[in-house]
Amino acid sequence: METNASNRNSSTSPGSEADPVYLLVIKGIPLCTIIVMAILGNLLVVVSVCRYRKLRNITNCFVVSLAIADVLVALIAMPFNASVELSGRWMFGYAMCDVWNSLDVYASTVSIIHLCCISIDRYYAVVKPLNYPLVITEQRVIIMLTFVWVFPVTISFVPIFLGWYTTAEHLAFRDQHPLVCNFIVNRAYAVISSSISFWIPSAIMCVMYYFVYQEAIRQAKFLYKNASAASRSQIAMNGGATSPARKGPLDGDDRAGETVQKIRHEHKAARTLGIIMGVFVLCWLPFFTWYITVSLCREACPCPDVVVVVLFWIGYLNSCLNPLIYAYFNRDFREAFRQTLQCVFWPCCGRRRDERISV
């Protein structure tokens, strides 16, 4: 995220240039794996939603946009960071350092604000389902997505290119050392950027999913209570025996069955996206805790470079985990992924089965 809060990614990392080949391989394999998985996994999400009509809904507009943001993180932020970790120096010049830092902050901020919007979408879908089609309209979704992609410019490109993010001492140092790419931030920028990029959106997500969780419990109890009452009534009407023509208390009532299925569908979607939010917090919380702590207390809070590297890449790891969560917890995405991969690797088999999931 906000890269290099202290002396991170210097172009002169001591000892890095002398790393033996085997150590470079050990470091390079996991870094390259994360990058490739993030790119391919999120592209799979985008292609699957575009290909299959069943996945084309308002919530998945946010999911696709989030996947695009994660692809940008993998294409822009990760490779530059990996190059510094493997080579021990910054190789791309003074101007590109600001571009990289800006894009890194921008893409990662876009990613978390997407999750914030998704949590609001799930809140209305589960807690206020009658208001959902009135509040979450196509026009509002377009406005929200435009905000998500435009607003992070105010804490990335603008302050970084204008020099507001750092100290006067660091600006003087950069003028004398144009080939060094450190990202030293002042206290004001550290507090504002971390609040906008992580703390405030995370708080909103936690509140939204708390209400979703409470409503899910209430609806589950309501359905169980009604199902039990209907079962007792059915048994009484059949003289103490369950009718073989009806396997469940709600099967004979199509409208009730549709309502139950819709509630279950919304709960599954909320659960999947809640897990995505939880994984995001687990991946980025250690980094932002370090970032704000080091930025505020400066030299009084030293941190080993290896710890900083691990915190960065745990955060980056989040960009390749979302597709895995979809594949494991969401049956529609799992089937769409399978069909899409079949079309890639076994075109003949894929074409025969495309129609089944497209309807």
How many alpha carbons lie under 13 Å from residue 340 in its C-beta half-sphere? 21
Which range among 18-27, 70-79, 157-166, 204-213 shows the weakest confidence by mean pLDDT? 18-27
Q: What is the pLDDT of residues 7-23, one digit of tens each?
A: 444 444 433 444 678 78
Q: Check whether 319 has a pLDDT greater than 70.
A: yes
Q: Please give the average per-residue pLDDT across 173-191, as a whole number.
A: 85
Query: Residue 275 is encoded by which pair of tokens?
Result: 């897990």
pLDDT of residue 149: 95
Confidence of residue 141 (pLDDT cuts 50, 70, 90): very high
| This prediction's pTM | 0.78
Domain extents in the chain: 16-358
Distance CA 109, CA 73 (A): 10
Q: In this structure, which long-range contacts are made by residues 266-271, counting pairs with CB atoms below 8 Å and at least 24 apart in sequence?
A: 266/122, 266/125, 266/126, 266/129, 267/126, 267/216, 267/219, 267/220, 268/329, 268/330, 269/59, 269/122, 269/125, 269/330, 270/122, 270/125, 270/126, 270/209, 270/212, 270/216, 271/329
Average pLDDT rounded to a whole number, residues 78-83: 89
CATH superfamily of 16-358: Rhodopsin 7-helix transmembrane proteins (1.20.1070.10)
**pLDDT tops 50 at residue 2:** no
| pLDDT tens-digit readout, 6-62 | 444 444 443 344 467 878 888 889 999 999 999 999 999 999 998 888 888 888 899
Question: Is the model's pLDDT at 157 over the cut of 90?
Answer: yes
Split at pLDDT 50, 70, 90, the class of 249 is very low
Q: What is the band of 250 on the pLDDT scale with cuts at 50, 70, 90?
A: very low
Residue 26 confidence (pLDDT): 85
Return the minimum-mean-pLDDT range out of 196-200, 244-248, 296-300: 244-248
Q: Measured on CA atoms in the order 294, 297, 298, 299, is the torsion positive or negative?
A: negative
